[in-house]
């Protein structure tokens, strides 16, 4: 059976679902963040496969921007987690129920 | 034919490692999750190579598996997360997660089944080489490129401000 666009999209959808499952069930902030990365990566895979099957490089440029923004997002998010941990001594979602530090 | 087999190898590797990031039956340690995320990203870079996106495959390994995951590991080591092992996953959260994930997968599968099957992969007209992508990036996408550089500067300043000891 020839591998077509659907095969890549199925992989991308399943990876997105896995990331979503992680975000909903896991309670550790860092694992939650890794699941978010998984979801971003599944979007990247979908964009690259669209770009390949439409003979158009715009999708790949989009992925390039997504990777850049994701790197910036990880830097800021991890800095926030470290700042939060300094105040509260926890990185667990259930211990972080009030907005006030 | 070889590319088809390679696709299945990389796709199964990506999904299995991705599942191990989210729910590892042997260890709840965040370091294990981070390591499996590195493996997921590397097998995804293999998929990118199969899609002729060579530059992005290299960037994926360098930026994600290199820089971002090192940052993750730094923070995991910085925060002492021993107690994570004893926590239990809540039943309600698990049920809600499985239901919503099942719903989303159902939507994806339905829309895929409704679409017409695409033609097989022909010879690539465009290669995702550094030359082609760079040319596009510095002509059509010059403004977004500059804005992204500004975004990186803002992120850098923000991180430095956040990591100061006395956060005001």
Whether residue A61 and residue B137 make contact (CB cut-off 8 A), yes or no, is yes
Mean pLDDT of B93-119: 84
Domain borders along chain A are 5-90
Q: Which of residues 4-63 of A touch B (CB under 8 A)?
A: 4-11, 13-22, 24-28, 30-31, 33-35, 37-38, 41, 44-45, 48-49, 51-53, 55-58, 60-61, 63
Whether residue B152 and residue A68 make contact (CB cut-off 8 A), yes or no, is yes
Gap between the Cα atoms of A26 and A13, Å rounded: 20
Q: Do residues A28 and A65 make contact, with C-beta atoms less than 8 angstroms apart?
A: no
What pairs with residue A92 in β-bridges? A28
Q: How many domains does chain B have?
A: 1
Q: Assign residue B161 a region: left if phi > 0, alpha if psi is -120 to 50, beta otherwise?
A: alpha
- Quick one: tokens of B49? 């190579």
From the list A2, A6, A8, which residue is nearest B4 (CB)?
A2
Mean pLDDT of B136-161: 93
Distance from CA of B31 to the nearest CA of A (A): 9
Mean pLDDT of B60-77: 90
Residue B127 has what pLDDT? 74
Query: Would you say residue B168 lies in a domain?
Result: no
Whether residue A38 and residue B21 make contact (CB cut-off 8 A), yes or no, is yes
pLDDT tens digit string along B12-68? 999 999 999 988 777 788 888 999 999 999 999 999 999 988 999 999 999 988 899
pTM to 2 decimal places: 0.89
pLDDT tens digit string along A16-35? 999 999 998 888 888 999 99
Range of the domain at B84: 2-117+125-163
* CATH number of the domain that residue B59 is part of: 1.20.120.1200
Query: Would you say residue B70 lies in a domain?
Result: yes
Q: Do residues A22 and A52 make contact, with C-beta atoms less than 8 angstroms apart?
A: no
Which architecture characterizes domain A5-90 according to CATH?
Answer: Orthogonal Bundle (1.10)
Mean pLDDT of A54-69: 90
């Amino acid at each position: 059976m020839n591998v077509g666009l659907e095969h890549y999209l199925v992989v991308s959808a399943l990876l997105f679902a896995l990331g979503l499952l992680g975000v909903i069930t896991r309670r550790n902030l860092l694992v939650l963040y890794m699941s978010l990365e998984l979801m971003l990566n599944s979007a990247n895979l979908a964009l690259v496969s669209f770009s390949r099957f439409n003979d158009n490089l715009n999708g790949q440029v989009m992925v390039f921007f997504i990777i850049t923004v994701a790197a910036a997002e990880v830097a800021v998010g991890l800095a926030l987690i470290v700042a939060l941990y300094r105040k509260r001594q926890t990185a667990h979602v259930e211990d972080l129920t009030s907005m006030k530090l | 034919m070889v590319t088809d087999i390679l696709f299945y190898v990389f796709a199964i590797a990506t999904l299995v490692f991705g599942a191990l990031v989210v729910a590892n039956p042997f260890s709840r340690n965040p370091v294990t999750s981070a390591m499996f995320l590195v493996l997921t990203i590397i097998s995804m870079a293999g998929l990118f190579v199969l899609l002729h996106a060579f530059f992005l495959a290299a960037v994926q390994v360098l930026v994600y598996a290199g820089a971002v995951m090192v940052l993750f590991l730094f923070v995991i080591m910085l925060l002492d997360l021993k107690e994570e092992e004893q926590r239990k996953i809540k039943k309600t959260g698990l049920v809600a997660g499985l239901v919503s994930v099942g719903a989303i997968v159902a939507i994806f599968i339905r829309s895929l089944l409704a679409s017409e099957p695409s033609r097989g992969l022909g010879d690539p007209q465009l290669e995702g080489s550094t030359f082609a992508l760079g040319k596009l990036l510095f002509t059509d996408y010059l403004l977004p490129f500059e804005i992204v550089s500004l975004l990186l500067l803002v992120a850098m300043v923000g991180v430095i401000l956040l990591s100061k000891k006395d956060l005001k």
